[in-house]
Amino acid sequence: MTNPVRYETEGQIAVITVNNPPVNALGHAVRQGLMDAANRFAGDDAAQIAVIVGAGRLFLGGADISEFGKTPQDPILPDVIDRIEALEKPVVAAIHGAALGGGLEVALGCHYRVALKGAKIGLPEVGLGILPGAGGTQRTPRLTGVEDALDLIVSGKPVDATRAQVIGLVDRMVEGDDARIAGLAYAGELLEMGATARPVSDMDVPSSELDWEARDADLERKFPGQVAQRHAAKAVRAATQLPFAEGRKEERRLFMELMETPQRDGLIHAFFLERKVSNLPELQGVEPRPIKAIGVIGGGTMGSGIATAALLAGLPVTLVETSVEAASKADATIAKNLDGAVKRGKMTEAKRAAADLTTTTDYEALSEADVVIEAVFESMDVKHQVFDQLDRVMKDGAVLATNTSYLDVTKIAGATKRPQDVIGLHFFSPAHVMKLLEVVVPERTAPEVTATAFRLAKTLGKTAVRSGVCDGFIGNRMLSHYRSAADEMILQGASPYQIDAALERFGFAMGPSKVADLAGLDIGSMTRDRKGRDLPGIVNPDWADALVENGDKGRKTGKGFYVYGDDMAENPDVQAHIDAAREKAGITARDFTDTEIVERYMAAMINEGARIVDEGIAQRPLDVDAVKLFGYGFPRYRGGPMKYADQVGLSTIRDRITRYAKDNPTFWSVAPMLDTLADRDGKFEELNQ
C-alpha cells in the first residue's frame, strides 16, 4: 500500500501532504505516516518549518469512523498530535474545505493555523456520540476561551474560517483556493519573522466565571437521555481545573467511556446508513434522466410543500390547480413558505428573487417538465383522472410521480400507457422541511426512473429510501402496527399520557397520541386499515372514534388526546371513553410500567420491520432504520429500530413477543425473519452488508 502521507521540501519548508480520499480520514496508515513525517522533519536540517496540508477537497475529515469499536492500533491520534506539537521547529496547518474532529485536533497540535475562506472548521464528535478525544477539549479553550470552546464542542456545529479567526481558532484567514500556496506563503513569513514553535498546550486557559453545575443541568434538559454532550462539557471543565497533561487524561477517560456506549454505536450506524441508504446496488451504473424543470399537481399543503422544496433547490416549478382561486391560494402558500425560508437563513434573498414558479389551471403547461409529482386527493378515481391527463401532455421520457401515502402505485402506473415512467414519491409534511422521501417502486418502473427519483431527492436535500409497494409502504405500515400495540396497552390499563411520556423518555420526539393529534384523529382509524376493514388481532380504539364524534379531531380543532391552548394539557374527557371501551371488552385495567410500555411498542415496531424486510418491501434493515429516523422522530442516538433490536438481542425481542402472544396470538406472531435470526444468534446488521 502506498503511504498516504507525502513528505517533500521546498527550500527551507517541509510540506507534509495527507492524501487519503475521499475525506483524508485519520486511519491507521495516515497516523503512522504523520508520525513518520514528524520524525523526519525533526531530523531534516534543511527544513526549518513544516506545513501540513490535505490533498483533494478538504484538509482532514477526522478520525476514521469505520475503525471505531475495533481495538485501537498504535500510534493513536493523541500521540501523533503530541509528537507534532513537541517538535522544536514550527509547524503550520494549512486548512481548506474542512477540518473536522480529529482533523481540527491535528491543526490544534500545529503551532500556527491558516485557513482558506469558506473552510468549515469544527468538532462534530458529539454527533457521533463521542467527544474530541485527541486533545480537542483541552487545546480549544486555550485558544478561544471557555464559552466559544463549549459552543463548538457541545453543539458539534462547525464554524466557517471567518468566524474561526474571530474566536482565535485560526491565526489567519485568506482568500484563495490553494491551501498549499497559502501554507507556503504563511510559513515563509513566519520564517522571516523568526517565529518559533508555539505549543497550544503551554498556553493558559482564559479564566471564566461559568457556573458548571447550572450548565450541566441545562445540557441534561436540552439533550435528555444523551451522554456525549455532558461528557464533552466535563472534559472542557477539566481543562479549566487541571494542568494540560492531567486534563488530557481526563479527556481520554471520558472519551473511552463514550466509546463503550450503545449511543455511540447507534449514532455511527446512523452516520453510515445516511450515506448507504441511497446507494442502491440496483442503481450501480444507471444514469438518471435530466431534471431541469418540475411539475406539481395540486396546491394543497403537500403540493405547495413539494413545490417549495423544489424552488428552494433552485428548480423551476409549474403547479397545476383546478381553479384560478386555488392556483392563487397555492401561490400565496408557497410565497409564505419561501419567505419563511429566507427568514430562517435557508434561502438567500437573491435566490428568493430568482425563484421560478408558475401556477396555472392548464395541464398543457407541463409539457416541458422532466418530473411531475401529483399531490391531489387520496382517491384512486381522482388519481386515474390526473394520470390520464399527464399521459396526454407529458413529453416522452418524463417521470410521472405520485405522492400517495397508501394507494397502490402499481395500479396507478398500470392505468397509464407508460408504467415504466411511473413511481411513488412519498413526501412527509411539511414537505419542504422533512428529510425523508420514500421512493415507492412498482415492478415495472424503469431503473433510470428510480435513479432519477434518487437524484431528485439529493437535489432537494432529502434522504431517499426505497420502498416496495404495500399498504402504507415502509413507514406508515409500521406506524399502524406499533400504534395498535399502544392501543392494546391502553385497553388493558395504560393511559395514553403514560405511554407518550414513557416513549418520549425513551427518546421519541413525540408519543403516539401526540402524533395522532398532529395528524388528525379523523385521518384513518387507528385500528382499521384505510379501506375501513378491521385488521386481524388488533383492538378497536373506540375512544379515538368517540373523540372525533365529539368534534375533537386533534390539534386542528384545538382538542384531541390533549387540549391545545397556551399550554398543552391532557383532555379530561378521554378517560371516560377509554373506561367505556374497557367495560365493553370486559377488561379490568392493570398497571403497566414504563419499561413494559417501551418493550411492547418496540417489539411491535421491530417485528413489523422484520416482515417488511422479509417481504422485500425494504431491501435492508437499514432502510427501515432510515425511514424511522428521518420521518418518524425515532431517536437518532438509538440508530433506528432494527439497530436497537440488534443491541437488545434478537432472541430477547422474540421471547417478549412470544410472551405477549399468549394473550393475543394473532397480533403478536413472531416474524419469520426475526425467528430465523434469533435461532442462530444473528443480527439484522448482517443483512445490511
Beta carbon nearer to ligand 3H9, 102 or 247: 102
| CB closer to ligand 3H9 out of 133 and 560 | 133
Which is the catalytic residue, given 10, 67, 88, 105? 105
Smallest gap from Cβ 23 to ligand 3H9, in A, equals 4
266 touches ligand 3H9 by CB under 6 A: no
Count of chain residues binding ligand 3H9 (CB under 6 A): 24
> Is 105 a catalytic site residue?
yes
Find the binding residues for ligand 3H9 in span 221-250 (CB under 6 A).
Answer: none
* Only segment of 123-131, 316-324, 429-437, 506-514 that touches ligand 3H9 (CB under 6 A): 123-131
Cα–Cα dist 353/211, whole Å: 46
Site for ligand 3H9 contains 154 (CB under 6 A)? no
98 binds ligand 3H9 (CB under 6 A): yes
Residue 474 near residue 623, CB atoms below 8 Å = yes
- Residue from 134, 401, 431, 578 touching ligand 3H9 (CB under 6 A): that is 134
Answer yes or no: are the C-beta atoms of 5 and 18 closer than 8 Å.
Answer: yes
Q: How far is the CB of 464 from ligand 3H9 (least distance, A)?
A: 14
For the beta sheet containing 463-467, the strands, ordered from the edge strand earlier in sequence to the opposite edge, are 357-360, 317-320, 294-297, 371-374, 399-402, 422-427, 436-440, 463-467
CB of 278 to ligand 3H9, least distance (A): 9
Cα torsion 56, 59, 62, 67: sign: positive
Whichever of 64 and 421 has its CB closer to ligand 3H9, that residue is: 64
**Cβ closer to ligand 3H9: 109 or 419?**
109
Measured from the CB of residue 255, what is the shortest distance to ligand 3H9 in angstroms?
7
Asked whether position 153 contacts ligand 3H9 by CB under 6 A, the answer is no
Compute the distance between CA of residue 656 and CA of residue 503 in angstroms, rounded to an integer. Answer: 18
Interface residue with ligand 3H9, options 91, 106, 128, 238 (CB under 6 A): 128
Residue with cell 382561486: 325
- Grid cell in block for residue 466: 426505497
Give the x-and-dash track for 25-64 against ligand 3H9 (CB under 6 A).
x-----------------------------------xxxx
* Residue among 8, 88, 125, 583 flagged as catalytic: 125
Q: Of 49, 65, 464, 546, which one interacts with ligand 3H9 (CB under 6 A)?
A: 65
Q: Is 517 helix (H, G, I), strand (E, B) or coil?
A: helix
Instruction: Please identify which residue in 13, 14, 23, 291 interacts with ligand 3H9, judged by CB under 6 A.
Output: 23
Closest to ligand 3H9 by CB, 129 or 442: 129
Residue 132 or 511: the one with the smaller Cβ distance to ligand 3H9 is 132
CA distances from 37 to 5, 58, 75, 80, 436 (A): 8, 20, 13, 10, 44
Q: How far is the CB of 115 from ligand 3H9 (least distance, A)?
A: 15
CA 380, CA 401: separation in Å to the nearest integer? 14
Which among 631, 365, 591, 663 is positioned nearest to 508, based on CA atoms? 631
∠85-191-107 over CA atoms, to 5°?
Answer: 30
Per DSSP, 210 falls in state -
Q: Specify the DSSP class assigned to residue 71.
A: P
User: Where are the extended beta strands (E) located within 479-630?
Assistant: 562-564, 568-570
Choose between 65 and 398: whose C-beta lies nearer to ligand 3H9: 65
Q: Tell me the three cell numbers of residue 614.
A: 422479509
Chosen residue from 33, 54, 109, 124 binding ligand 3H9 by CB under 6 A: 124
| Cα separations in angstroms, 60 against 19, 26, 645 | 9, 7, 34
Rank residues 22 and 536 by Cβ distance to ligand 3H9 and give the closer one: 22
Give the N- to C-terminal CA distance of the chain in Å, as an integer. 25
- Is 132 near ligand 3H9 (CB under 6 A)? yes
Tally of CB atoms within 10 A around 23: 20
Instruction: Please identify, using beta-carbon distances, which residue of 71 and 588 lies nearer to ligand 3H9.
Output: 71
Q: Based on the shown chain and the rule CB under 6 A, indicate whether residue 280 belongs to the binding site for ligand 3H9.
A: no
Site for ligand 3H9, residues 435 to 494, rule: CB under 6 A: none
Print burial letters for 240-268: b (CB count within 10 Å at least 16), e (below 16): bebebeebbebbbebbeebbebbbbbbbb
Query: Whole-angstrom Cα distance, residue 434 to residue 467?
Result: 17
Could you tell me the smallest distance in angstroms from the CB atom of residue 242 to ligand 3H9? 19
Annotated catalytic residues are 105, 125
Residues binding ligand 3H9 (CB under 6 A)? 22-23, 25, 61-66, 77, 98, 100-102, 105, 124-125, 128, 132-134, 136, 272, 275
